[in-house]
């Protein structure tokens, strides 16, 4: 086992210990019950609405099959 592997293993174990140590603490009600909190749920719903609007616009702007005549070729290639 090389020294770098041992070092990374010890670093990983120390990180997990620190993580579980800080998981014991909970935010105070002063932090969680603020008036100026970021409305994360509204941000996520806006992203979904944006994706729906974008999809509908792409569908609206895409060329329809009925608009293209079947007698015309898309391109003329020379041999």
Confidence at residue 17, expressed as pLDDT on a 0 to 100 scale: 97
Confidence at residue 71, expressed as pLDDT on a 0 to 100 scale: 57
Confidence at residue 77, expressed as pLDDT on a 0 to 100 scale: 73
Task: Classify the phi-psi angles of 38: left when phi > 0, otherwise alpha if psi is within -120 to 50, otherwise beta.
Answer: beta
- Residue numbers in the chain where pLDDT is lower than 70: 44, 63-74, 79
Confidence at residue 10, expressed as pLDDT on a 0 to 100 scale: 97
pTM equals 0.39
Confidence at residue 27, expressed as pLDDT on a 0 to 100 scale: 84
Alpha carbons 23 and 35: distance in angstroms, whole number: 25
């Amino acid at each position: 086992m090389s020294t770098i592997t041992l070092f990374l293993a010890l670093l990983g174990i120390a990180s997990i210990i620190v993580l579980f140590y800080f998981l014991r603490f909970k935010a105070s009600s002063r932090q969680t019950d603020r008036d100026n909190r970021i409305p994360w749920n509204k941000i996520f719903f806006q992203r979904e609405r944006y994706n729906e609007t974008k999809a509908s616009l792409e569908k609206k702007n895409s060329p329809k099959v009925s608009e293209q005549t079947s007698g015309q070729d898309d391109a003329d290639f020379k041999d």
